[in-house]
Amino acid sequence: MGKGCITVTKYFLFLFNLLFFIFGALIMGFGLWVLFDDKSFIAVLQESSDTVKVASYILIGVGSLSMAMGFFGCIGAIYEIRCLLGLYFTCLLLILIAQVTAGVLIYFQRDRLKHEMSNIIKELIVNYTGQNRTTEHTWDYIQRTMKCCGWTGPGNWSENLLIRNSSQTLYSCSCRNDSLPGTEKREYGICEHLSSEAPVYETGCITSVEKWLLDNCGVILGICAGVAVIELLGMILSMCLCKSVVQEDYTKVPKY
């Protein structure tokens, strides 16, 4: 490989490592958001299941590792250090294998994950009091913004301990459908309705969540595909540069 090709490969590899560093920062940032956010659907799951917390720690770890790899890859590319290039290639290969394995596991375990999610939400609804400012208020926020009620439907709230044991006709305040007549509007807690039918949304939140996932499926798959392409290009460029460095080193050895 000529000097010009080596230089182009080196700086292309530097660019891809810079992008890899940025993607690593985004992954780590997403993991931190999952861990500390208390205003989204993730917060509801996190409070009730260790799976989400473990996943957030994994994301933070993968993001940190990706940032470190991007940094060392940049150093290896600029200074043509073969051991760093070889280490970079090996780590990229392992991460790519891990990503494919994780994707396959999630795909084949999707029914189990959906069942676990349903159990978490239904348990939250049964024990809802309106006093918990993390998961309960987050669930209220989800019902208001997604305009849904319960997990599979408003009937889930009939299992709530406060509503079931009360002599009054109660419903979840955050289920309140603004287009229907009823009592005063409240963002959270349990409200009383005087009419025969509760002024609530008829759609369960599982439908809204699935719709959100379908609407954003292209974005999620695009990000995953983009990361995979960058990893493959980084592997190819690192191998080419590493091979060129070896060839360059051997040409400098005096022949007898």
Beta 190-192 vs 170-172: how paired, if at all?
antiparallel
Distance CA 99, CA 126 (A): 36
State whether 13 and 107 are in the same domain: yes
Q: Is residue 62 part of a domain?
A: yes
Count of the separate structural domains present in the chain: 2
Residue carrying the six token digits 């989204």: 40
Distance CA 195, CA 202 (A): 16
Q: Is residue 254 part of a domain?
A: no
pLDDT in tens, the chain (256 residues): 556 666 777 777 788 778 778 878 888 887 787 677 655 555 555 555 555 666 677 778 878 887 887 887 788 777 777 787 888 888 888 878 877 887 777 778 778 877 888 888 888 899 898 876 677 888 888 888 888 999 889 989 989 998 888 888 888 988 988 887 766 678 888 888 877 788 889 888 888 888 877 777 777 778 778 778 877 877 887 787 777 765 444 344 344 4
pTM over 0.85: no
State whether 190 and 152 are in the same domain: yes
State whether 61 and 132 are in the same domain: no
Residue 160, domain CATH: 1.10.1450
- Structural domain containing residue 69: 3-123
Q: Is residue 46 part of a domain?
A: yes
State whether 199 and 152 are in the same domain: yes
State whether 129 and 76 are in the same domain: no
State whether 89 and 175 are in the same domain: no
Tokens standing for residue 203: 């759609």
